[in-house]
């Protein structure tokens, strides 16, 4: 696969039919006599997500030789969990946009959105329980709790100029990486793989998830309004310090600390402040530092795949970290 033209459509080609089935299962499961639920469910589903999490699950299952239909079901479960967190996170962050479209809470209000997020969470667990895979259900429940804990932990750190790199990475682990890791684990568990292989795919997904989130945070500082579908520097406006800015606070001296602290305090970012912070990020090379950390996690993710024989599925999983490092939106 040519890394210079790495596209998700190429990576996902072997599982494209299964991804279509995941979308169909998601749409089927949000059907309800309460008309608002399927309407919002379809709105969420059509918002342009990359489906990387279900793809990791489906491809991991293939890598391990699983050929049944439960991989599609659990991939849909993962999409329900992910969709629920997006709905709730946008409410908490008061984000007006999601992937360039009006966020659910901006269109239907917080009261409706909280309940829809709850519905998606409960639906995910109900769907997971349709098969007698209690280990998988237990894993999904644990991961969901960690994600909620991560959101709460992040709230306690919002606006704090002294957030450390380790504290930030712990937020990433809980909010993003554990779900990626669960996708790898579930694929191996469905195939009845031994614990060491379940662990290998779990660690692959976990490290991929950390790399994915670091790059996502970088794009918030280096992307464009057109590519991001939201204003650049949104994390800072919301009071969140991400890895490049945390490194800047350590390296940039009083000037950087004063600028960033002012933005955190006011929850506002003027064009003059943004230009000054951008210049300091470039001067102290903290964008490069954060990207190097993402490369480190992506490299570690790929190393875990060496526990498996070569083949189409392993190649696809190995290409995902490369795609994550090269994505621009």
> In which band, very low, low, confident or very high, does the pLDDT at 135 lie, cut at 50, 70 and 90?
very high
For tokens 């970290």, the residue is 321
CA distance 134 to 180: 19
312: confidence class by pLDDT, cuts 50, 70, 90? very high
Between 99 and 295, the more confident residue is: 295
> Average pLDDT in the 170-187 region?
98
> Residue 171 maps to which CATH number?
1.10.600.10
316 occurs within a structural domain: no
Q: Is the pLDDT of residue 2 over 50?
A: no
pLDDT at res. 99: 75
- 97 vs 175 pLDDT, higher one: 175
Reduce the DSSP state of residue 68 to 3 states and report it: coil
Per-residue pLDDT at 3: 46
- Give me the domain span that covers residue 136: 16-307
Cα 301 to Cα 207: distance, rounded to the nearest angstrom: 5
Whether 231 and 212 have beta carbons less than 8 Å apart is answered as no
Residue 329 — very low, low, confident or very high, per pLDDT cuts 50/70/90? confident
Tell me whether residue 322 is in a domain: no
Q: Rounding to the nearest 10 degrees, give the CA dihedral for residues 266, 267, 273, 278.
A: 140
Average pLDDT, the chain: 94
Residue that the structure tokens 């999601």 belong to: 98
As a whole number of angstroms, the distance between CA 241 and CA 223 comes to 17
253 in a structural domain: yes
Query: Would you say residue 200 lies in a domain?
Result: yes
Structure tokens at 229: 């579908």
CB half-sphere exposure, 37, CA atoms < 13 A = 18
Specify if 49 maps to a domain: yes
Give the angle 166-169-171 at the CA atoms, nearest 5°: 115
User: What confidence tier does 70 reach under pLDDT thresholds 50, 70, 90?
Assistant: very high
Residue 218 clears pLDDT 60, i.e. is over it: yes
Q: With cut-offs at 50, 70 and 90, classify the pLDDT of residue 282.
A: very high
In a domain, 9, yes or no: no
**Number of independent structural domains in the chain:** 1
- For 162-189, what is the mean pLDDT? 98
Assigned token pair, 223: 């992307």
CA dihedral 279, 224, 209, 131 (to 10 degrees): 160
What is the spatial distance between Cα 63 and Cα 186, in angstroms, rounded to a whole number?
12
Residue whose C-alpha is closest to residue 129's, from 145, 115, 140: 140
Three-class HEC string of 86-130: HHHHHHHHCCCEECCEECHHHHHCHHHHHHHHHHHHHHHHHHHCC
Residue 216 belongs to some domain of the structure: yes
pLDDT exceeds 70 at position 226 = no
The token pair at 157 is 């750190």
**Residue 72, domain member (yes or no):** yes
User: Rounded distance, CA 117 to CA 140, Å?
Assistant: 16
Beta bridge partners of 101: 98
Q: Which of 56-65, 69-78, 164-173, 224-233 shows the lowest mean pLDDT across its residues?
A: 224-233
11-39 core/surface letters (b: 16 or more CB in 10 A; e: else): bbebbeebbebbbebbeebbeeeeeebbe
**How is residue 176 annotated by DSSP?**
I
């Amino acid at each position: 696969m040519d890394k210079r033209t790495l596209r998700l459509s190429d990576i996902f080609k072997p599982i494209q039919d299964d991804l279509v089935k995941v979308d169909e299962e998601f749409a089927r499961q949000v059907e309800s006599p309460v008309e608002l639920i399927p309407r919002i469910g379809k709105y969420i589903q059509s918002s342009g997500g990359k489906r990387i999490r279900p793809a990791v699950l489906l491809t991991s299952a293939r890598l391990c030789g699983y050929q049944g239909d439960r991989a599609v079901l659990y991939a849909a479960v993962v999409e329900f969990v992910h969709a629920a967190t997006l709905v709730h996170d946008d409410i908490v962050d008061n984000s007006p946009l999601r992937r360039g479209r009006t966020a659910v809470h901006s269109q239907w209000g917080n009261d409706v959105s909280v309940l829809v997020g709850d519905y998606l969470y409960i639906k995910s667990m109900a769907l997971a329980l349709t098969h007698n895979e209690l280990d998988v259900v237990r894993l999904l429940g644990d991961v969901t709790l960690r994600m909620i804990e991560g959101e709460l932990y992040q709230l306690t750190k919002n606006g704090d100029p002294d957030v450390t790199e380790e504290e930030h990475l712990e937020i990433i682990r809980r909010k993003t990486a554990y779900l990626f890791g669960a996708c790898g684990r579930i694929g191996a568990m469905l195939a009845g793989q031994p614990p060491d292989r379940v662990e290998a795919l779990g660690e692959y997904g976990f490290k991929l998830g950390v790399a994915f989130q670091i790059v996502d945070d970088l794009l918030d500082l280096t992307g464009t309004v057109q590519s991001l579908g939201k204003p650049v520097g949104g994390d800072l406006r919301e009071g969140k310090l991400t890895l490049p800015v945390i490194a800047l606070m350590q390296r940039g001296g009083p000037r950087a600390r004063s600028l960033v602290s002012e933005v955190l305090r006011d929850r506002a970012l003027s064009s003059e402040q943004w230009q000054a912070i951008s210049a300091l990020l470039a001067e102290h090379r903290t964008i490069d530092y954060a990207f190097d950390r993402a490369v480190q996690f992506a490299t570690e993710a790929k190393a875990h795949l060496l526990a498996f024989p070569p083949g189409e599925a392993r190649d696809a999983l190995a290409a995902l970290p490369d795609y994550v490092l090269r994505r621009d939106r």
